[in-house]
Amino acid sequence: MENFELFAPRLINKQELLSSGHRACSGCAEVLAVRLMAKALGENTVIASATGCMEIVSSMFPTTAWQVPWIHVAFENAASVASGIEAGLKALRKKGKIDDRYVKVVGMGGDGATMDIGFQALSGAMERGHDMIYVCFDNEAYMNTGIQRSSATPMGASTTTAPAGKVSMGQKTWKKNMPEIMVAHNIPYVATVCPSYPLDFIRKMEKAKSIKGPSYIHCFSVCPTGWRSPSQTAVSMGRLAVETGVFPLFEVENGHYRMSPDMPKKLKPIKDYFKPQGRFRHLTADEIDMIQEKITVEFKKLVEKAKFL
């Protein structure tokens, strides 16, 4: 911690490009992640943001928390708009109509906007090879509209459209493995990040910025409101997700997997992560064991991939 306090201020851009005064819930780790992303990318950035929590909380008319050009687009087309901006900037630069200044174009959205409704637009943008970053802020449900399940909702979580009760354990499907789907697009860079690890977060974001081509960043975004967890635990909850292997931190550069140095050698049991969250409180010991087994298997598969560096 002493070292962190000594070095972090030198490593992190002091400029705030997402200002305070936005309307996120207290303890929202998603807005903390967006703030870190803006710091890492710096001023020469244009953002296309899908509708969702981060749009609602940051741009209540007539105010805005954004200090960089930011466009609110529909639920399903952040990646299409970002790819169009990138192509447009390239054409204007070529015609000498704008400065010859490199600008990074970013598409962003929640898990619903990215993994469900905007999936096709994102797949197309990545496949076409646009010079852009897409960041998915994954809070594991459609939070802005009232905690409906998405394909990112983890097995066993209770949501308003997959509620736990006498006949159901809540979500009955496994979380879609979005980073792997992006790796399958053969793009230069895919990474997972969590704002509970700010230096790892910023390093990966800066790497994505430096790549001239498509990058995909999947960000674990603790949502105390939707997960029914204490707001002051948002950062420690993110760390528990990483330490239990529920959300491993890794990057894939030109097909080569690398685990983050922050990953522990021995994982903690997932019950430590489930316990403080109301959305998992109904799960039986057998159900937790079943989920634990899957997490362990998936983590081993990932570690095996990282061995072939």
Ligand X SMILES: Cc1ncc(C[n+]2csc(CCOP(=O)(O)OP(=O)(O)O)c2C)c(N)n1
The site for ligand X (CB under 6 A) is made up of 51-54, 75-76, 109-113, 139, 142-145, 150
In the structure encoding, which two tokens stand for residue 203, read together?
A: 């390093």
225 binds, among ligand SF4, ligand X, none (CB under 5 to 8 A by kind): ligand SF4
Q: How many residues does the chain have?
A: 309
Q: Is the dihedral of CA 201, 206, 209, 213 positive or negative?
A: negative
Taking CB under 6 A as the criterion, the residue among 46, 223, 246, 249 binding ligand SF4 is 223
Nearer to ligand SF4, 19 or 296 (CB): 19
The residue type found at 113 is A
Q: Which residues pair with residue 137 across a beta bridge?
A: 110, 219
Q: Residue 279 CB, nearest distance to ligand SF4 (Å)?
A: 12
Q: How many helices (H) and strands (E) does the chain have?
A: 12, 8
Half-sphere exposure of 307 (CA within 13 A, CB side): 6
Asked if 147 and 226 touch (Cβ cutoff 8 Å), the reply is yes
Q: Which residues pair with residue 49 across a beta bridge?
A: 72, 108
Dump strand ranges (E) for 127-179.
132-138
| Cα dihedral: 156, 159, 161, 164 (round 10) | 50
Taking CB under 6 A as the criterion, the residue among 49, 80, 114, 139 binding ligand SF4 is 139
Taking CB under 6 A as the criterion, the residue among 30, 116, 200, 251 binding ligand SF4 is 30
Taking CB under 6 A as the criterion, the residue among 12, 25, 71, 103 binding ligand SF4 is 25
Nearer to ligand SF4, 50 or 143 (CB): 143
Rounded to an integer, what distance in angstroms lies between the CA atom of residue 46 and that of residue 44?
7
Q: Residue 224 CB, nearest distance to ligand X (Å)?
A: 13
What burial class does residue 82 get, using C-beta atoms within 10 Å of its C-beta: 0-12 exposed, 13-18 middle, 19+ buried? buried
Encoded one letter per residue, x for contact with ligand SF4 by CB under 6 A and - for no contact, window 35-54 reads ------------------x-
244 binds, among ligand X, ligand SF4, none (CB under 5 to 8 A by kind): none
Closest to 205 in 3D by CA, of 31, 29, 36, 5: 36
75 binds, among ligand SF4, ligand X, none (CB under 5 to 8 A by kind): ligand X
Taking CB under 6 A as the criterion, the residue among 148, 225, 236, 296 binding ligand SF4 is 225
Checking DSSP bridges between strand 70-72 and strand 189-193, what pairing results, if any?
unpaired
Nearer to ligand X, 113 or 237 (CB): 113
Sole window of 21-29, 100-108, 255-263, 283-291 interacting with ligand SF4 (rule: CB under 6 A):
21-29
Nearer to ligand X, 149 or 305 (CB): 149
260 binds, among ligand X, ligand SF4, none (CB under 5 to 8 A by kind): none
Q: Residue 101 CB, nearest distance to ligand SF4 (Å)?
A: 33
Q: Which residues pair with residue 169 across a beta bridge?
A: 164
The residues that touch ligand SF4, with contacts defined as CB under 6 A, are 24-25, 28, 30-31, 53, 57, 139, 143, 223-226
